[in-house]
């Protein structure tokens, strides 16, 4: 067989040759939606490669992006790696300290920055050790006022650049293409390198009928940020399959997303549960026509069953839970339903949809405890481990590699069970698991149960130190609007849980809070809750 | 990223873990349909690996199969390559001389043979230079009478074998896995090696929504023989995606196929046009319920539009033309319709379906003439060239490699045009093209036009030497039953063509024949017609 490498530049060629008129629809501000055909987009992408090469980008150079989801970010997604350089997608929601750390650790030489974020980076500039150029991504060619040297306008540079660039066809498919950092429990964020090979194979997986089935006739909207694990691979797969893409830009809210779904006839979209909870709320207040959707993909943390039910039952839209992490590119599994599940009741179907689903073709997963792989009984907990060609093998220049990568497997730090059907079901993060009186309690199971109660908007359950039991669960609950937060409601919720769990699982206390603190990507920040409430049972 | 190799043994692991109850349905004789779950099939496959290892199979050993489509052949498809050995799928329809040549050229050491074919091989035995063992594939454990040594019963050997075998997980993905030979215009057949990497990537392509979309809930029937280019990859993809497979076994006919579609609720199937023409005829004589079908894939030679229309219009089943060859694993392109074609009339849709379609994601195609790539005007002819990770780079130990493989491209020998939509449309084989008075005439276009006429069952148009024009087209036509084959019918057909082509394209003569000679895989054997008729215009 030919030794044709699996590289991203082949995606540009494909989109430009076969789907020149399919669209990149880019919301660049509250008032502006820009539209580019793939033919135009490909030209702009090659222009950007020339611009960056002119600024000193070579094979292996790290180019950072600090940006929302828009066409310029999509151009960078290809213009950087297709030349052999590395795209570092900086998570704008990290703390300034962490952002400073990762830019220096990655040794970014050029930063592509949305104009609104430039002031933040400007302040950091004295501490950035390797950055030589800032390129401001904005519809305008005017530069913001700054005392910094080497600040350029993206559009001004593109205007003068040639749209011809011969991407190397013989690039080794194991060449690094992308880089993302993920927050660590302790210490600085950890970096993961994505290779061309990994991203190409991941794109094939996204196109499979049994996965997301991304295809030419889709109109795909990545709500998940492009600074977060390759926006789950959708921008790459979209170009590969000639799929029109809707990029919702800066400062979007549920109303903007629903308007885009309606006006652009979006067929598939992906984001975290907190987004879809808010979208559902908005949709119920102000109905839109979302019948173009053939699926909503949801990941990043557990999806409340009430959310799944609302979309599946009320709107007849498959609500598919996916699982992955920064270390896994990210797609590991999806709650697609097999033919054996055709006769499930709606309740049983939602039960399956709420799991993390079936392992993707090409990957291997094992849930392991001290006795090896756990039985597929849906009950025995263990740590989820993953292996495959789009799974990281190390943290980038980081000693913590050996904590997570052992015997050829990634140890995810997620506690899971395997159902009799082979569906993964997360029960907790290793660090969120509650060990009470020597037995494990799943905080996620309790949270999911609480969130099916009609009064509850969100709930987080954490482990709090306890004199007698070592740890006891404590529930922090955000009630829905207009629900009275009195003691009788607390009792009602506890009774609700008693109907579903062993009595010792039920939290001794329920706290009503205004909101659950969340991580930069919308996950519950339980560490913060734990810090805040660690003396709760002691104080009493 | 992890350096997990793309190897076929991962497919067995996947099917066994996640789809243990999906089925391999195997018609092993006129009376017998055997059923195995993937769990059982995987055990039998590992038993076969042990059996063959016991018979001397090592890494790189060639093991030949001489068999129909059945579960044992599917076991061999994995049991041989997963150990690092090479499966040689022998085309049973080649001439005895060619079969002898390819077994010796491949240096097969073990042959897995259907009992009905054993007498043929027995006769060849004295001339087989490397074969050490014959294993008879039959439901029975009894051996046929023979004077040969080292003849074994497949089932008897399996019965005694262990079902445990640890396939090497670190096999290099570029290890040869399969070998097929393709007939050459002149000389002996040419061999093509398939690697694990190529077959795995090809399987991903088969699962894409925009290609065949093979998925868990399909019931896939490979009508295309498993001795012909990996049965177009369906047996591999089926195991990968946990798809139940129906294998129609020996001596099937249209009636058997239709009965299987109806009784097993087949959802997708693939084969050559001559099969589907015969199936259609049978279906019209004796209707069956084929509503379970979501698609029929057709390739190997051009599909008559009447055939496409019948399935698309009358039975509402997408009839998708695919293109490929032994050198391409084989899937190169498929006539899937893009979203831009949603508003086509039925006639326009059939027009697109009849093309060879869109190039698969991951491959590159170019139609080239002496000026480079031809314009996408649907008219300018050139030779189709292909590149990609499941395209061969050479013929196995054969000096003819350099004729077909040049500058990193496979020169297919097929003459094609590219439509404005980027769809490939074959107009001829280089060797079948008719050059009349210095201009090219496409024999395929004329054949396709003739086959849309209500009186015509099949038609082949060949180039015949001509004193004045160098070559002129001559049409050989098989009329439908009960159509009178008189001169007025000949005139009617010529008039029919005049309405569609320039007058100099229209064959001066039409011959009515009883059948068109066909190759071992059902393609028109125009070389035989040319030999037979080369003096036709001279004699007159």
Q: Which of A98-112, A420-434, A471-485 has the lowest mean pLDDT?
A: A420-434
Distance CA B217, CA B320 (A): 19
Tens digits of residue pLDDT in B324-335: 999 999 999 999
Closest among B147, B144, B232 to B194, alpha carbons compared = B232
Give the mean pLDDT of chain A: 94
CB contact under 8 A, B241 and A361: yes
Tens digits of residue pLDDT in A500-521: 888 888 999 999 999 898 876 6
For residue A334, give the DSSP letter: E
- Transcribe A358-394 into DSSP letters: EEPTT-EEEEEETTEEPPSSS---EEEEEESTTS-SS
CB-based contacts of A371: which residues, under 8 Å, 6+ apart? none
Interface test with B, best of A2, A292, A360 (most B CBs within 10 A): A2
CB of A524 within 8 Å of a chain B CB? The answer is: no
Give the mean pLDDT of chain B: 94
CB of A3 within 8 Å of a chain B CB? The answer is: yes
Provide the ipTM.
0.89
Tens digits of residue pLDDT in B185-219: 678 999 999 999 999 999 999 999 999 999 999 99
Closest among B475, B60, B75 to B239, alpha carbons compared = B75
- Give Dmax (Cα) for chain A: 71
Alpha-carbon distances of B62 from B57, B65, B105, rounded to whole Å: 8, 10, 11
State mean pLDDT over A288-312.
Answer: 93
Write out the two tokens for A370.
């001290």
Distance CA B324, CA B232 (A): 9
Tens digits of residue pLDDT in A23-80: 999 999 999 999 999 999 999 999 999 999 999 999 999 999 999 999 999 999 999 9
Contact B131, B125 (CB under 8 A): yes
Write out the two tokens for A491.
């009792």
Higher pLDDT, A199 or B251: A199
Q: What's the pLDDT at B116? A: 96
Write out the two tokens for B168.
């090497």
Min distance A240 CA to chain B CA atoms (Å): 7
Instruction: Please determine, for residue A186, whether its predicted confidence score (pLDDT) is greater than 90.
Output: no
CB of B488 within 8 Å of a chain A CB? The answer is: no
Instruction: Please determine, for residue A392, whether its predicted confidence score (pLDDT) is greater than 70.
Output: yes
Distance CA A114, CA A127 (A): 20
Among candidates B210, B240, B390 on the partner chain, residue whose Cβ is nearest the Cβ of A216? B210
Write out the two tokens for A231.
């926006």
Instruction: Please determine, for residue A539, whether its predicted confidence score (pLDDT) is greater than 70.
Output: no
CB of B17 within 8 Å of a chain A CB? The answer is: yes
Write out the two tokens for A387.
């292996």
CB-based contacts of B185: which residues, under 8 Å, 6+ apart? B431, B527
Q: What's the pLDDT at A288? A: 97
3-class secondary-structure state, position B304: coil
State mean pLDDT over B239-262.
Answer: 97
End-to-end CA distance of chain B: 71
Distance CA A108, CA A99 (A): 12
What band does A531 get if pLDDT is binned at 50, 70 and 90?
A: confident
Residues of B belonging to the active site: 182, 327, 435, 440
Distance CA B385, CA B373 (A): 10
Min distance A298 CA to chain B CA atoms (Å): 20
State mean pLDDT over A430-452.
Answer: 83
Host H or E run for residue B425: strand B424-429
State mean pLDDT over A388-405.
Answer: 96
Tens digits of residue pLDDT in B16-33: 999 999 999 999 999 999
Q: What's the pLDDT at B198? A: 98
Helices (H), A108-177: 118-124, 154-160
Measured between beta carbons, the chain A residues lying within 8 angstroms of B387 are 2, 4
Min distance A4 CA to chain B CA atoms (Å): 5
Only one residue has tokens 């993707």, namely A360
Write out the two tokens for B493.
């057909």
For the CA atoms of chain B, what is the radius of gyration? Answer: 23
CB of B21 within 8 Å of a chain A CB? The answer is: yes
Interface test with B, best of A209, A338, A391 (most B CBs within 10 A): A209
Query: What does residue A103 show for φ and ψ, rounded to 5 degrees?
Result: -65, -40
């Amino acid at each position: 067989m030919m030794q044709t490498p699996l590289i991203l530049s082949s995606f540009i060629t494909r989109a430009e040759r076969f789907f020149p008129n399919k669209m990149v629809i880019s919301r660049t501000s509250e008032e502006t939606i820009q539209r580019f055909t793939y033919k135009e987009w490909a030209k702009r992408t090659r222009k950007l490669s020339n611009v960056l090469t002119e600024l000193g980008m070579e094979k292996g150079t790290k180019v950072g992006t600090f940006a929302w989801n828009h066409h310029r970010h999509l151009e960078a997604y290809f213009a950087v790696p297709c030349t052999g350089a590395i795209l570092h997608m900086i998570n704008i929601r990290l703390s300034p300290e962490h952002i400073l750390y990762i830019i220096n650790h990655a040794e970014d030489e050029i930063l592509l920055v949305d104009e609104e974020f430039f002031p933040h980076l400007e302040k950091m500039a004295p501490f950035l050790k390797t950055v030589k150029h800032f390129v401001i991504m904005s519809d305008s060619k005017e530069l913001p006022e700054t005392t910094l040297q080497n600040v350029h306008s993206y559009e001004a540079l593109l205007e003068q650049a040639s749209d011809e660039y011969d991407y190397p066809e013989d690039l080794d498919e194991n060449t690094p293409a992308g880089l993302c950092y993920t927050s660590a429990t302790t210490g600085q964020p950890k970096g993961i390198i994505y290779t061309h090979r990994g991203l190409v194979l991941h794109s094939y997986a996204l196109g499979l009928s049994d996965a997301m089935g991304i295809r030419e006739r889709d109109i795909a909207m990545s709500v998940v940020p492009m600074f977060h694990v390759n926006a789950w691979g959708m921008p790459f797969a979209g170009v590969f399959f000639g799929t029109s893409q809707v990029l919702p830009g800066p400062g979007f809210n549920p109303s903007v997303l629903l308007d885009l779904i309606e006006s652009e006839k979006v067929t598939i979209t992906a984001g975290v549960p907190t987004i879809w909870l808010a979208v559902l709320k908005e949709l119920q207040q102000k109905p839109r026509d979302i019948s173009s959707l053939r699926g909503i993909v949801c990941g990043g943390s557990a999806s409340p069953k009430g959310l799944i039910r609302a979309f599946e039952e009320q709107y007849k839209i498959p609500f598919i839970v996916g699982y992955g992490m920064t270390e896994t590119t990210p797609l590991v599994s999806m709650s697609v339903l097999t033919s054996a599940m055709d006769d499930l009741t709606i309740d049983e179907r939602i039960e399956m949809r709420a799991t993390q689903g079936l392992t993707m073709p090409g990957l291997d997963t094992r849930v392991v405890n001290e006795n090896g792989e756990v039985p597929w009984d849906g009950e025995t907990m263990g740590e989820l481990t993953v292996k495959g060609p789009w799974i990281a093998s190390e943290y980038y220049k980081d000693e913590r590699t050996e904590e997570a990568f052992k015997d050829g497997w990634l140890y995810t730090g997620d506690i899971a069970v395997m159902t009799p059907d082979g569906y993964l079901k997360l029960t907790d993060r290793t660090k969120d698991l509650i060990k009470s009186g020597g037995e494990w309690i799943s905080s996620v199971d309790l949270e999911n149960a609480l969130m099916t109660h009609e009064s509850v908007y969100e709930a987080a359950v954490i482990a709090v130190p306890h004199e007698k039991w070592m740890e006891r669960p404590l529930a922090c609950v955000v009630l829905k609007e207009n629900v009275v937060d009195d003691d009788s409601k607390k009792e009602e919720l506890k009774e609700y849980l008693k109907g579903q769990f062993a009595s010792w699982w039920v939290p001794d206390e329920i706290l009503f809070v205004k909101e659950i603190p969340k991580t930069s990507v919308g996950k519950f920040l339980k560490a913060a809750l734990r810090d805040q409430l660690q003396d709760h049972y002691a104080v009493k």
